Amino acid sequence: MQILRAPIAISLAAAALGLAACGSSSSESSSTTTAAPATTTSTTTAASAEGEKVFASNCATCHTLAAAGSNGKVGPNLDSIAPDEARVKAIVVNGRGGMPAFADVLTEAQIDEVSAYVADSAGK
């Protein structure tokens, strides 16, 4: 079991480092924007557009994500690790490794939007 934990821990640390090192201190947001549940196509499209905007202004300089047209080399390649939404959200909120926490930079809605966007877009 210990042998298997090391590669997983290294992968998670690399992912966190990449997510932590990227972003900007820009906290532009619209207080009227809310994230709707991704249950319909139109809602998903609207949420994806908002998530893509948040990604472009906070994550793209550090991370590679083909759907966003980003080629960041500081953080992990999100297409390669294809994290799920819960993993992205936890790392964005809390930071990890070299990546700072964005809980004080992004609104809760923006965190939800970017987490869903990355999870839905990575590896596709």
**Predicted local confidence at residue 38, as pLDDT:** 43
Q: Are 24 and 99 in contact (CB under 8 A)?
A: no
More confident residue, 92 or 20: 92
Find the length of the chain: 124
**Predicted local confidence at residue 124, as pLDDT:** 80
Picking from 90, 97, 92, 50, the residue whose alpha carbon sits closest to that of residue 74 is: 97
pLDDT at 86 over 90: yes
Q: Which domains does the chain have, with CATH numbers?
A: 2-27+35-121 (1.10.760.10)
Condensed to tens digits (0 to 9), the pLDDT of residues 97-108 reads: 889 999 999 999
Global pTM value: 0.65
pLDDT at 26 over 50: no
pLDDT at 117 over 90: yes
Condensed to tens digits (0 to 9), the pLDDT of residues 37-80 reads: 444 344 456 668 999 999 999 999 999 999 999 999 999 999 99
Pairing of strands 70-71, 64-65: antiparallel
Using CA atoms, how far apart are residues 32 and 9, in angstroms rounded to an integer? 39
**Predicted local confidence at residue 44, as pLDDT:** 56
